[in-house]
Amino acid sequence: MKIEQAYEGSIERKIYSSDQIAATIDRLAARIAADFTGQPLLLLGVLKGALFVVADLSRAVGRVSGGPSEITVDFLCVSSYGNATRSSGEVRVLKDTGEMVTGRNVVVVEDIIDNGLTLDYLRGLLEERKPAVLRTCVLFDKPYHRQADVRLDYVGLQCPDEFVVGYGLDYQELFRNLPYLAQLKPWVFSS
Binding site for ligand PRP (CB under 6 A): 46-49, 79-81, 87, 110-119, 170
Which residue out of 19, 56, 74, 114 is catalytically annotated? 114
Query: CB of 57: closest distance to ligand PRP in angstroms?
Result: 15
Q: Which is nearer to ligand PRP, 63 or 86 (CB)?
A: 86
Counting Cβ atoms within 10 Å, is residue 7 exposed (0-12), middle (13-18) or buried (19+)? middle
Pick 56 or 114: Cβ nearer ligand PRP: 114
To ligand PRP, the closest distance from the beta carbon of 142 in angstroms equals: 8
Q: Least distance (Å) from ligand PRP to the CB of residue 123?
A: 12
Which lies closer to ligand PRP via its Cβ, residue 33 or residue 123?
A: 123
Strands 105-113 and 133-141: parallel
Specify whether 170 is catalytic: no
What are the catalytic residues? 114
